[in-house]
Amino acid sequence: MRDGMAGLTLRGRAFLAAGTTAICCAVLLGQTTLTRIGVLVLVLPLVSAFVIGRRRYAVSAIRSVHPRLVAAGQPARIDLDLANDGRSPAGAVLVEDQVPYALGTRPRFVLQGISRQWRRRVSYQVRSDVRGRFEIGPLTIRVADPFGLVEIRRSIPGVAPLVVTPRTVTLPPIPVMGGWSGSGEHRPQAFAAGSAEDVSVREYRRGDELRRVHWRSSARVGELMVRREEQPWEARASVLLDNRLRAHRGQGLGSSFEFAVVAAASLVLHLDQHGYAVRLVLADGTGADETSTAVLERLALVTTTQQPVLDVGWTGDQTRGGLVVAVLGGLERTDVLALRQIRHDAGAALAMVLDVDEWAGRSAQPAGPPPSVAGLGWRSVTLGPRDRLDSAWRDLGRASGRAAAVTTALKATGADR
């Protein structure tokens, strides 16, 4: 009864006040009929509170998200498995799930006929244009009487995460030089069985297996020689995202930073589909070798940093000989040393430079890459807020093709000389 009285609605409290007033007036005026009406109006919310408060239901909910990882602008389905494990039926209940504002309005369901051992599944869809990690839940259940005089709310604990990754753009395949590197002692090659010169060998080291000893080379040299370990080469790529606050302009979804995040996500997926082992590196130098799914999940939560310059602590053995694709914001003179170091360690370096002045609403700068990038051996392209990522990537491919042709011509000239 206590729960029922605490759940009186505004209508229920009005009925109590009206019934009490009617009884008092009937006593003062001596109106028997008005007394009956006042008693009826007064008892009705009390009976409703008694009946609703006596219900011993225990509704449980299990929430599942499909898929757990979804791209911005794509819908996700939420399944709610509801069950009544209580001793008495609950009649009709109103179910309301709590969702963040970015995912849309709160879904509401009216469920009828909730009896003992009752089971039901309800589903709804959510969609977000904003990347991030969202918590869905908890669930709120409201039980009310048919007259709307009493309403009891109960919250069912439990939340489920939904990760909204940046939207991606399908990029065309382009010829990219560099990126191939190996962890073994040499690049695999075809060996002939009849000649020692066709076999790549080295001196015997303590711990080498005897089955690797190449006896013909050992007899010719006069000391034990073993075949080199053959390790397959792999294509490695690093996607550098310039997430410095000072390098970007604009606010919200229309900012240059959000454009850079979309570009980085598209590059990660594209390189992963073409056989590259991709890692994402931020302006502060943090990065790790992860799967493309893990990288997209990381991009869903990435924010800007107060880092003043690009950190080059991630370059070195992990970058040497590999491909580096950078998505850069507004560049300053202090970035020249970092860009030179990254280009020195990379086998090939491509850059998408954002013209942040266009995002700031100022007049666009002359087209073409900044001198600090073009003069350091980077193949780059400049993008504005209305430019297409796939077209910019295709332009980078053309620049790579021209660079490859020039390199081949120079090598041929040197060979002729």
Find residue 135's DSSP bridge partners.
Answer: 161
Q: What is the pLDDT of residue 217?
A: 85
Please, where are the H alpha helices in 274-416? 292-301, 336-345, 356-359, 371-374, 389-416
Q: What is the pLDDT of residue 190?
A: 34
Which of the given ranges, 49-63, 221-235, 345-359, has the highest pLDDT on average? 345-359
Give CA separation, 208 vs 98, 191, 213, 227, in Å. Answer: 63, 20, 8, 10
pTM, two decimal places: 0.73
Quote the radius of gyration of the chain (alpha carbons, Å).
35
Residue that wins the pLDDT comparison between 188 and 308: 308
Of the candidates 190, 196, 178, which has an alpha carbon nearest to the alpha carbon of residue 237? 178
Q: Average the pLDDT over each of 53-57, 73-77, 79-83, 343-347 and give the range with the smallest value.
A: 53-57
Find residue 80's DSSP bridge partners.
Answer: 63, 122
Quick one: tokens of 198? 């066709």
pLDDT band at residue 182 using 50, 70 and 90 as cut-offs? very low
- CA–CA separation, 266 vs 195, rounded Å? 48
Burial of 196 by CB count in 10 Å (0-12 exposed, 13-18 middle, 19+ buried)? middle
Contact between 99 and 107 (Cβ < 8 Å): yes
Average pLDDT (359-383) is: 67
**CATH node for 59-165:** 2.60.40.10
- CA–CA separation, 259 vs 330, rounded Å? 13
3-state secondary structure of 23: helix
Quick one: tokens of 210? 């005897």
Q: Which sequence spans correspond to the domains of the chain?
A: 2-54, 59-165, 188-227, 234-416
Quick one: tokens of 130? 């904003």
Contact between 212 and 265 (Cβ < 8 Å): no
Quick one: tokens of 226? 């073993």
Q: What fold, for 234-416?
A: Rossmann fold (3.40.50)
